[in-house]
Amino acid sequence: MGRKPFKIAPFAALLLIYVAFMGYYSTAEINLTARTIGTSLITLLYSLLAAWSLWPRVRDVVTISCRLMAYIFIFHALFEAIAISILTAMAYITMTTEHLQNDLRRQAQIDPLTGCYNRRAFYAIADHSLSRSKRDREITSFIMLDLDHFKAINDTHGHLTGDEVLKHVVDIVADVKREQDTLSRYGGEEFIIMLPNTPSREAAAVAERIRRSVEQSPVEIDGITIKSTISLGIAATDLENIDNSNVGTLISKADRALYNAKKRGRNRVEQ
């Protein structure tokens, strides 16, 4: 349009300031609000400068298209810069809300002491898994386990020590069980494991590995070595009657097998 260009030095200085500003609030101090404001101000500045550059002068021959383009940049300066801030704030609020909802959902599913699923979450997961197993005609096994003489540990060493023993046992079980298995705290010192696509014979092998690992891994708390053992009961779906299987029935069967393990001397696996 035959006009003199802007001098480069002010814009180069502004660019360096902007880069330093964004770098600081992206590394040294993470501040999304500051970065949003900085970006919005730069957008506002270059949009207004572009509009001023394009605005027709008296001597300009082409005026309509230039004026239209200038209006576009003015609109961009006044509204998009603000919109970026608003949309970014809305997105940040949405992300925060989603994070809080996920955290609350997780808290509702996780046992706070042991970090494994609670009973409510287990039933939901087990119902879904069992429905899929029925459709695919696959066997699902449950292992119910209980710490032997846990009341004696609480009475002798205190409930805080008992809590540490519980967490220690859960850590062992979590390490020994397979990745596809689901561990849950059923109540007190009782825990339950769901093993999808696993017949009772394989479930018994997993249970025996867990039993042996707990027996061979005492925990030391405040200089005191505490040995613990567990009893385990196993139940599995029956392919001939799989459509009538449900989570409650399988848990009841596993619980009866656990009772038999305790009745027959504890520290053993029954099915």
Give the Cα separation of 168 and 226 in Å (integer): 11
Residues in the chain: 271
Where does residue 4 rank: exposed (0-12), middle (13-18), buried (19+ CB within 10 A)? exposed
Q: Tell me the two tokens of residue 72.
A: 């576009």
DSSP 8-state symbol, 6? P
- Strands 230-236 vs 219-221: parallel, antiparallel or unpaired: unpaired
Strand partners, 136: none
Q: Tell me if residue 29 is catalytic.
A: no
Contact by Cβ (8 Å): 140, 237: yes
Q: What is the DSSP string of 111-180?
A: -TTT-SB-HHHHHHHHHHHHHHHHHHT---EEEEEEETTHHHHHHHH-HHHHHHHHHHHHHHHHHHS-TT
Strand partners, 270: 233
Per DSSP, the three-state class of 109 is helix
Q: Tell me the two tokens of residue 188.
A: 């007190």
Q: Write down the catalytic residue from 29, 179, 189, 202.
A: 189
Give the Cα separation of 17 and 23 in Å (integer): 10
Give the Cα separation of 62 and 219 in Å (integer): 86
Catalytic residues: 189
